[in-house]
Structure 1
Amino acid sequence: MTRALIVIDVQESFRARPLWETTSDPKVAEQVNRLVRLARRAGDLVVWVLHSEPGSGDVFDPALGHVRLMAELERRDEEPLIHKTSHNAFTTTNLQQLLTERGIRELTVCGIRTEQCVETTTRVASDLGYQVTFVTDATATHPIPHRDAPAGRSVAELLADPRTLSAEEVIRRTEYALAGRFATIATVDQLEAAAGLRA
């Protein structure tokens, strides 16, 4: 086993926010499940990551009960579950130690949000020397407001602002930023096809 699938922040916290209605893929958990099945068939390690902000009082505060895997996901007892408090999955966790102990050198990453925790984890992993595959259609994100937009706007106001960056544009820009520099960009279909060719 030299490969691992890192599932990042596919958690109920996001569905507890009004912004969830704008997500690029409300069924992202289904795509993640496909990757999990693929990893298990190959004998790869599956690592589950949850984002938590204790004491924040928002949807990422474990005390509110949303910091748990989305209901559609099925983690096995032997698969590590780690909690992070930073954007990347390495800085505030023992992820690197866990991977090093198992001799993992190749990572497949997926999760929420495309340009935030998943991209940041990808960049850090690349800098640490891992070969990374970023599975773009097993990530999800939301539109991003312009930096000068006032805080506290409704979803409708966010979407009505022509300066708002759409989720699709965020994903496209993330692919451009990562490809050939920090990761190989792939889709779930491509990985399934490649696994079929190896079998």
Structure 2
Amino acid sequence: MTRALIVIDVQESFRARPLWETISDPEIAGQVDRLVRLARRAGDLVVWVLHAEPGSGDVFDPALGHVRLMAELERRDDTEPLIHKTSHNAFTTTNLQQLLTERGIRELTVCGIRTEQCVETTTRVAGDLGYLVTLVIDATATNPIPHRDAPADRSIAEMLSDPRTLSAQEIIRRTEYALAGRFATIATVEQLEAAAGSPA
């Protein structure tokens, strides 16, 4: 085993936010589950990552109960590590690198939420650390991003109608262009299934 699937922040915290209605792929858990099944069948390590902000009082505060995998996903407790991070990338505030090194992992497949934030940042750090990274672009999801000068108290409808708002599709496209050939190979779930010989 030299390869691992890193599942980043596919957690109920995001569903508990009003912004969830703008998510690029409400079925993200289904895409991730396809990758998990592929990884298990290949004998790859599956590492689950959750984002936590203890004491924050928001949906990422573990005390509120949302910091858990989305209901459609099931972790194998005995063989699949679960780590909690408090930084945007999955390395800085965790033992992820140690865990991968101990198992001789050199190749990573990365997926999760949000495309341009925790997923992209983890991918960049992993690339800098020398891992061969595949980012599965259609197993990531994100939300539109308002302009930095936009009022913070606007409604979702007002944010979406603002021409300065960056759409989720634009963000995903930008991430794909920024990472491809620099920090990662870009792939789709279907491409990985085809390379494995059959759908998960």
TM-score range, shorter chain: over 0.9
> Using the alignment, how far apart are the partners of 1:2 and 1:66 within structure 2?
32
Instruction: Using the TM superposition, give the Cα deviation of residue 150 of structure 1 relative to its aligned residue in structure 2, in angstroms.
Output: 1.2
Name the amino acid aligned to 2:86.
T
Alignment size in residue pairs: 197
Listed as ranges, the gaps of 5+ residues in structure 1 are none
> Using the alignment, how far apart are the partners of 2:155 and 2:113 within structure 1?
21
Instruction: Point out 4+ residue stretches in structure 1 off by more than 3 angstroms.
Output: none
> Which whole-Å deviations, capped at 9, do the CAs of 1:36-63 have from their partners, x for residues lacking one?
0000000000000000000000000001
What is aligned with 2:102? 101
> Using the alignment, how far apart are the partners of 2:72 and 2:105 within structure 1?
27
User: Where do residues 44-193 of structure 1 align in structure 2 (5 Å cutoff)?
Assistant: 44-77=44-77, 78-193=79-194
Name the amino acid aligned to 1:19.
L
> Using the alignment, how far apart are the partners of 2:53 and 2:179 within structure 1?
27
Q: Secondary structure at the match of 2:83?
A: strand
> Which whole-Å deviations, capped at 9, do the CAs of 1:146-167 have from their partners, x for residues lacking one?
1111112211111011100000
Q: Secondary structure at the match of 1:5?
A: strand
Sequence identity percentage: 90
> Using the alignment, how far apart are the partners of 1:155 and 1:194 within structure 2?
40
Give the TM-score of the pair, scaled to structure 2.
0.98
What is aligned with 1:12? 12
> Using the alignment, how far apart are the partners of 1:60 and 1:86 within structure 2?
12
Superposition RMSD on alpha carbons, in Å?
0.7
> Using the alignment, how far apart are the partners of 1:61 and 1:157 within structure 2?
28
> Using the alignment, how far apart are the partners of 1:155 and 1:75 within structure 2?
33
Name the amino acid aligned to 1:190.
Q
Listed as ranges, the gaps of 5+ residues in structure 2 are none
Q: Secondary structure at the match of 1:139?
A: strand
